[in-house]
A and B are shown apart, each in its own frame.
Chain A
Amino acid sequence: NAGVTQTPKFQVLKTGQSMTLQCAQDMNHEYMSWYRQDPGMGLRLIHYSVGAGITDQGEVPNGYNVSRSTTEDFPLRLLSAAPSQTSVYFCASSQSGGRTLADTQYFGPGTRLTVL
């Protein structure tokens, strides 16, 4: 199993550009989530999904959209990039999220995004 994969690893955008960060998992996990990691602020939840067709907002959802058309994929879209979105983005998945007992979250390798 590849686990949780993310592409790209690095990305530089100009203010106002849009892009999609890709996330995929091959463990048949129901729960997937996106976090951003900023210095001194830990990991903050952007959006999450408890299954195909179901998404919800986390702590910091503004400026980001998600969709979950399949169990495997959970892309994160930046609609109009801003310098405040410069960060490292991690995707994570777990077997069942919070619907049963919480499970180990497995993180992807991360995407380092810079918005100029």
Chain B
Amino acid sequence: GENVEQHPSTLSVQEGDSAVIKCTYSDSASNYFPWYKQELGKRPQLIIDIRSNVGEKKDQRIAVTLNKTAKHFSLHITETQPEDSAVYFCAASISPGGNQFYFGTGTSLTVIP
């Protein structure tokens, strides 16, 4: 099955700086890569996703890049704010045809005011 690795496990940045979280996947058939944000005690919520037919996607201060050859994808948060502090999870899935989402182990991001 698919194996998703996520790094780093913890990340601290100063407010206003950028944060980058990286994930690698093992199954070259994976083609859908969502990112979730989970605040303490809350449910995971989708913040951005990318499909394998594009290399980059942006949504305001958040962007995701995908390198299919190297089988890795990254989350970029610019101009970080204290409310960005949370745990971020990457995931990989195969669509259509796959019914399983494989999650990374999470990155705890702390934005220091």
Q: Could you tell me which A residues sit within 8 Å of B by CB distance? A: 31, 33, 35, 40-45, 48, 50, 56, 58-59, 90, 97-102, 104-105, 107-110
Contact = CB atoms under 8 A, between A and B. Distances in A.
Nearest to B44: A107
Contact of B44 (A31, A43, A44, A59): A43
B95 interface: yes
A45 B105 CA distance: 13
Question: Majority SS of interface residues in chain A?
Answer: loop
A102 B32 contact: yes
A41 B105 contact: yes
Interface string B12-44: 000000000000000000001010000000111
Contacts of A31: 99
Nearest to A102: B95
B105 A98 contact: no
Interface of B: 1, 6, 9, 32, 34, 42-46, 49, 51, 89, 91, 93-106
B8 to A, nearest CB: 13
Contact of A100 (B89, B93, B96, B105): B96
B97 A42 contact: no
20 contacts: A31-B99, A42-B6, A42-B89, A42-B104, A43-B44, A43-B89, A97-B99, A98-B94, A98-B97, A98-B98, A98-B99, A98-B100, A101-B32, A102-B94, A102-B96, A104-B46, A105-B101, A107-B44, A107-B45, A110-B43
A51 to B, nearest CB: 11
A108 B42 CA distance: 9
A44 B103 contact: yes
B41 to A, nearest CB: 8
Contact of B99 (A43, A50, A107, A109): A50
Nearest to B91: A43
A58 B46 CA distance: 21
Contact of A40 (B1, B93, B101, B105): B105
